[in-house]
Amino acid sequence: MLIGELAQRAGTSTRALRYYETHGLIRAARSANGYRVYDEAELPVVREIRALLAVGFGLDDIRPFVACLRAGNASGHVCPDSVAVLRRKLAEVDAGIDRLHAVRRELRDQLAHAITHREETCSRLRRTAR
């Protein structure tokens, strides 16, 4: 399988695949003419990468999942390193949610305050501008 086919089947671009390779996530043999030749087993690896990227993981976070898949597991999530990353990411997401809730409260309060006090300079300015 050449890079174009893998890209299409995995729903990504050749550019991305070469990028993953330079970062040690996927592997390719080379044919006589220098073309990258992919094993069928790279397809689920690329799919795993895409899925984790979509969830907000960075390439470094994804590495253990790929290693886990290569170790022969049906899922890349079952190895200890992957689980550790999952736990860490879950904590990060929780922290993010908390932060956004705090921001939300702030915005809601400011909005309420703004609406309560809207009849001030702005309106007066607009009235005098007429």
Q: Of the listed pieces 13-21, 86-94, 101-109, 111-119, which binds DNA according to CB under 7 A?
A: 13-21
Query: Within positions 52 to 81, which residues make up the interface with a second copy, using CB under 8 A?
Result: 55-56, 68, 71-75, 77-80
Q: Of the listed pieces 53-61, 77-85, 106-114, 121-129, which binds DNA according to CB under 7 A?
A: 53-61
Among a second copy, DNA, none, what binds residue 74 when CB lies within 5 to 8 Å by partner kind? a second copy
Contact (CB, 8 A) for 76 and 82? yes
Among DNA, a second copy, none, what binds residue 43 when CB lies within 5 to 8 Å by partner kind? none
Q: Does 10 bind DNA (CB under 7 A)?
A: no
Q: 37 — phi, psi (to 5°)? A: -120, 125
